[in-house]
Structure 1
Amino acid sequence: MTLNGLYIPLITPFAEDGTVALAALERLANDVLDDGATGLVALGTTGEPGSLTEDERRAVIEVAARVSRERSAPLVVGAATPEALAALGEHPEVVASLTVVPPFVRPGEAGVVAHFERLAAGSPVPLIVYDVPYRTGQYLSADALRRLAALPNVTGVKYAGGGLNPDTIALMADLPPGFTVLGGDDIYISPLLAIGAHGGILASAHVATADFAALITAWHAGDVANARAIGHRLAPLSASLFAEPNPTVTKAVLHAKGRIPTPDVRLPLLPAGPESLTAALKELG
């Protein structure tokens, strides 16, 4: 299974009373699909899953699954434990799990491969490895990613290595058949697409969704001049949206545009400052 295109890792909007604004979440999910997104991601790190209760996480999945079912759009859900993965079998709309490399413990590449082998063996859906070494502390070489790609029930990687490096080039130059590479470093999505990525899971694409979708389409079509122009325009927008911890600035922009009821985040995050909001709105135009 190859997942091409643009996937939006949905934020979790909060109401004035601090509860999850499920109606706003549903509107947002439909809006990004209307604007050209291929599919949705629920409970990715952008959705602040660690600050949600179990009931809230379940409600978020239910909303995303309903929208995905009604729109015939693929749904990916963040899950990193055997229990969370098993629960995804209750939702036929879920095509894959976004499963982060174990953070903090730095188990080594062999430990990461063994970990994913165990999770994949018991999962009702294929796994997308979330490789984000500047958050997890565990770097994965091109060889390690190929070993992960060879595992049954591992379908791809959300690649967020902090830019392009020799391992990036080596992986893309000899990509395992059927293994999906979805960019996860928003600022670098255009060059990653240029060397063969299938798409992206991009928090920045909550805004300017149509432009991010057009960027992916242009690179896949070989329209280099147009793709470069779009990419050059979107990279500063992504930089402004990540000027403070994600998703604080994105939420501030969505609230300023009237798309969610508050810009609120939950601790340990703090709301974005006014300067960051102003800068992002300027880049958005």
Structure 2
Amino acid sequence: MTSLHGLYIPLVTPFDADGAVAPAALERLAHQVLDDGATGLVALGTTGEPGSLTESEKQSVVDTAARVCRERSAPLVVGAATAEALAGLAAVPEAVAALTVVPPFVRPGEAGVLAHFARLAAASPVPLVVYDIPYRTGQYLTAGALRGLAAIPNVAGVKYAGGGINDDTVALMADPPAGFAVLGGDDTFISPLLALGAHGAILSSAHLATAQFAELIRLWQSGDAIRARALGHRLAPLSKALFAEPNPTVVKAALHAQGRIPTPGVRLPLLAAHPDSTAAALKQLAEVGG
């Protein structure tokens, strides 16, 4: 079973002036975040706008991220939610896990979710990281359901984005399942989740101030609560500003403003971030030294 920990960056998909995927820019960005302290990369996460990419574009994104991870000896996680997509990861030796979202919209109930992941995990060539994000999927999972997922062979962990810290969060972290990685996915709440014992994070915000987010994880895991708490308080407003509009619109605008991607472009149904949102995010970024 893969042991996942540290900071993973769910890479945006940069587009060029013509709206095409810009693999060279993606490659540079991937190297930059690893240089700045990220542990690994996520390709085709929600932040990468996979729903708007063609199959050939998705393959280009995965190939680019895999090449960087191979060169850097860094772990790669790939977004894959179907049996077919998971099977394709057998051809990606750099992939240590798949990020697999709880089935959205259908609300199958917790028993249905467990059965769904049991079937996918049994056939997957790589371990699964369950993406639990109920405010997008419509399906809430209790701590008991998450423990049930942890008991499924070939399920390595969860990207936990429950919308904050609640009773189920506390119950899960009070006695986390052995060998089951809890990776925070709610950017604004990452510091308190790390304080409760999360193993790491998958954070879109960490495209910016990557070194500071990596340090936040290190501080909590080393037991330096005073410095960790202070840093977490500084980073939370940055995350809030970067999520002021649908992700990854503000993140892309900020990266473009830094000259790190060729355009701030996103694809429909997303619309470009408002300049005021970009300015607010850059102001917060300056305040944390990113």
With structure 1 as the length reference, what TM-score do the two structures score? Answer: 1.00
- Unmatched 5+ residue regions in structure 2? none
Structure 2 counterpart of 1:84: 85
Give me the whole-angstrom Cα distance separating, in 2, the residues matched to 1:148 and 1:91: 25
Structure 2 counterpart of 1:40: 41
Shift of 1:191: 0.2
Give me the whole-angstrom Cα distance separating, in 2, the residues matched to 1:156 and 1:2: 9
Structure 2 counterpart of 1:277: 278
Structure 1 counterpart of 2:247: 246
Secondary structure of 1:158 counterpart = strand
Give me the whole-angstrom Cα distance separating, in 2, the residues matched to 1:91 and 1:54: 15
Total equivalences in the alignment: 285
Residue 149 of structure 1 aligns with an amino acid whose one-letter code is A
Shift of 1:174: 1.3
Secondary structure of 2:159 counterpart = strand
What are the superposed Cα offsets for residues 80-116 of structure 1, whole Å, 9 maximum, x if unpaired?
A: 0000000001011000000000000000000000000
Structure 1 counterpart of 2:211: 210
Give me the whole-angstrom Cα distance separating, in 2, the residues matched to 1:81 and 1:195: 32
Residue 65 of structure 1 aligns with an amino acid whose one-letter code is A
Give me the whole-angstrom Cα distance separating, in 1, the residues matched to 2:279 and 2:65: 30
Structure 1 counterpart of 2:235: 234
Secondary structure of 1:95 counterpart = strand
Give me the whole-angstrom Cα distance separating, in 2, the residues matched to 1:185 and 1:277: 20
Secondary structure of 1:181 counterpart = strand
Structure 1 counterpart of 2:128: 127
Equivalent residues in 2 for 1:166-181, closer than 5 Å: 166-181=167-182
Structure 2 counterpart of 1:16: 17
Structure 2 counterpart of 1:224: 225
Shift of 1:243: 0.1
Give me the whole-angstrom Cα distance separating, in 2, the residues matched to 1:274 and 1:19: 23
Q: Does 1:190 align with 2:191?
A: yes
Structure 2 counterpart of 1:59: 60
Q: Could you tell me the percent identity over the aligned residues?
A: 75
Secondary structure of 1:40 counterpart = strand
Give me the whole-angstrom Cα distance separating, in 2, the residues matched to 1:111 and 1:81: 15
Residue 276 of structure 1 aligns with an amino acid whose one-letter code is S
Secondary structure of 1:269 counterpart = coil
- Unmatched 5+ residue regions in structure 1? none
What are the superposed Cα offsets for residues 148-188 of structure 1, whole Å, 9 maximum, x if unpaired?
A: 00000000000000000000000011111000000000000
Structure 2 counterpart of 1:109: 110
Shift of 1:2: 1.9
Secondary structure of 2:192 counterpart = helix
Structure 1 counterpart of 2:73: 72
* 4+ aligned runs moved over 6 Å, structure 1: none
Structure 2 counterpart of 1:149: 150
Secondary structure of 1:76 counterpart = strand
Secondary structure of 2:17 counterpart = coil
